[in-house]
Chains A and B, each alone.
Chain A
């Protein structure tokens, strides 16, 4: 579904991503773990077209159609079926919850789908329905994350990118949100998840990539990585024997 090939990104003189190659298949939950500054957010922003790669290619297949995303503008990438829940949620705090959700459906602007998708999201996150007319800025962090995920789903993406969905959220809500992600995946949306909480990410995902300063350190099945001693030491806080 998504194929990234030898991707390089530069910020001026800084070589942020040094030749990343990865593939995400339809139906998967793939996690990307790594420490602060490894380049996780840069990778997601490049896939969404907010940052342009200096070399390499990004290929996205949607409904059998293959597109090279390298030069496509962000808003068009969204309408191709690739939505992102950005780091820090980026909710429109000056708008109501309903308006945020309606904006999620901005590319299609189809009234009938809108009603249907709103109902789907209310089933997923009933709390949003209670707060529909409320200003989105008044929601708690967890509720804002729910709203950010719902807003992204409103565009009916086939691939959903999530950047640190657990950031700044009460632990009890984090569990709830991650179980919803599994639900969303089971309903047919492929998920690519960036997460600093490696344990949480590996428990949720099928496969994972480990990013270290712009390069993949390793990759594999989430379960195997969860038992890999090096990974346990570096990312899961296990003291070496």
Chain B
């Protein structure tokens, strides 16, 4: 039982990171009906930003440093997300969806291999932004300060996102654009600006995820975005792509399921699990757990 609860905690921490990445997939899909395959690379750039921020003189060791690094990574990733949309997707706005999808794969590969060229292919040790210690030990169930940081940061970011989407003028515009572009233009919404904002928001969350993953993962490398990117995408599909609470739930389920599988079966099945989940969800409930099945508009 102790082990189970421990695995559950580890899984939820890991799942929060998937959820943060999945939110970016789901928001962009909601607004453009596009799977932004470059999103995993944005997360990689977030982690790299953390590495270089410390490498170039940012201090470590306090909560203040951690927050500063998270903010820098979010900023850098926002800019990157904005630039990707501007340079790669906006010129394709009128193109068939398949063309845009292939563009997304192209951007993803471009970032992976430019990353290898610029940062080098070797894994880099991610700096210990805060010292790892256990804050709670209850009958053998351990909660580390890193896990607490991951939980708190994720919750704060998600509440912030919720506030933006449901309580601000821009959030209302985002929901309008996700419903229909033409109707949004006709009420005077600058649709392109809303799309840019969505990319900025999703990329900022991925940037934060990049730092949070660095806290518990020892190394970063230019290809690190690939698997978490695909898994977060599957998490978004699992929850119902386009649905914000769905991305959250999908991410958490994905994290817990992976941790359980590597804990009780074997670590080698871990990556296969995501695809098994994808296949099952596509067969049984293709609209996802919280997604509505698409109906014809009347």
Contacts and interface: CB of A to CB of B under 8 A. Distances in A.
Do A and B belong to a common assembly?
yes
Given A75-B191, A90-B180, A95-B179, A102 B172 contact: yes
Contact of A75 (B169, B175, B180, B190): B190
A48 B184 CA distance: 12
A216 B183 CA distance: 28
A95 B188 contact: no
B173 A106 contact: yes
A240 B39 CA distance: 66
Given A48-B186, A86-B186, 7 more contacts: A48-B185, A50-B182, A74-B186, A93-B179, A103-B173, A103-B176, A106-B169
Interface in B147-193: 169, 172-173, 175-176, 178-180, 182-183, 185-191
Given A75-B191, A106-B169, A109-B169, A92 B186 contact: no
A128 interface: no
A78 B175 contact: no
B65 to A, nearest CB: 39
A93 B298 CA distance: 11
A95 B187 contact: no
Contact of B182 (A86, A95, A107, A151): A86
Contact of A104 (B178, B187, B297): B187
B175 A95 contact: yes
What interface size band does chain A fall in? 20 to 34
Given A94-B179, A109-B169, A155 B187 contact: yes
Interface string A57-79: 00000000000000001110011
Nearest to A79: B188
Contacts of A151: 187
Which among B179, B188, B189, B190 has the highest number of chain A CB atoms within 10 Å? B188
Contacts of A103: 172-173, 176, 187, 189
Contacts of A107: 188
A154 to B, nearest CB: 8
14 contacts: A50-B186, A73-B190, A75-B189, A78-B186, A78-B187, A86-B183, A92-B183, A93-B179, A103-B172, A103-B187, A107-B188, A151-B187, A155-B187, A155-B188
Contact of B176 (A49, A74, A83, A95): A95
Nearest to A154: B187
Interface in A1-41: none
A225 B191 CA distance: 41
